[in-house]
Amino acid sequence: MFNRVVLVDQNNNEIGTEDKLDAHKKGLLHRAFSIFIFNDNNHILLQKRSDVKYHSAGLWSNTCCSHPYNDKPLVEYANTRLLQEMGIQSNLKEFFSFIYRAEFSNGLIEFEYDHVFFGKYNSDPILNNDEASSFKWVNFKQLQLEIEENPTKFTFWLKKIVKDYSKYFINYENNNL
C-alpha cells in the first residue's frame, strides 16, 4: 500500500505525487475514488468509519473510499481497496467524477478529484476494523432523510454526493444500470 497520492490539475491530468498526509496538510488537489455498493433491493451499503481514522472518524460514509496510485488502472485500485476494507468483490463501474474541498477541525484538508463507482453485492461485508467499525444497508430516500435529520453523523463527501448527484442514484435504482 502506497502512502503517496497522485496530484492532479482541475482536468484530472497528473502533475506529480505527494506523501498522503502532506497532501492533506497542504490542501493539494489529488485523485481519489468513492464506491457505492447496492444490493438487489437497491439498498446502499454504508460503512461507519473506524474511530482511528485520521479524519472523519466515527462518521457514516459510502461503502469504501481511498486514493489510487498511478501504477495501475483506477478500477483495479477501487476493487483492491473494496476487498481490503469490506471483504467484497464486485464488478465496479465508474459513473461520474467531481472535485470537492473540505477543511477539517484537525487542520487537514480534503481537496479531491473523486471518481465515483457503483457495484452490486448481496451479502453483508466482512469489515476491516482498522477502516470501518460498522455497516448498514439503506435505500437512497432513507439516506437523504437521515442526512437531513442528522448531518453531523455523515462524512462531508457523502453529503455532497447525495445532495449534488442524486440523479445517478435515482437512475441506478430505476434502471438498475
**Can you tell me the distance from the alpha carbon of 125 to that of 95, in angstroms, rounded to the nearest whole number?**
22
Catalytic site residue from 65, 85, 110, 131: 65
Is 65 tagged catalytic? yes
Using a 10 angstrom Cβ sphere, with 0-12 exposed, 13-18 middle and 19 or more buried, the burial of residue 122 is exposed
Is 64 tagged catalytic? no
**Can you tell me the distance from the alpha carbon of 69 to that of 50, in angstroms, rounded to the nearest whole number?**
23
Question: If DSSP states are collapsed to H, E and C, what string results for 115-128?
Answer: EEEEEECCCCCCCC
Contact indicator for 93, 117 with CB cutoff of 8 Å: yes
Catalytic site residue from 85, 110, 112, 131: 112
Residues in contact with 177: Cβ distance below 8 Å, sequence separation at least 6, in sequence order: 93, 118, 171
**Can you tell me the distance from the alpha carbon of 1 to that of 7, in angstroms, rounded to the nearest whole number?**
17
Phi and psi angles of residue 2, each rounded to the nearest 5 degrees, phi first: -85, 145
Catalytic residues: 65, 112
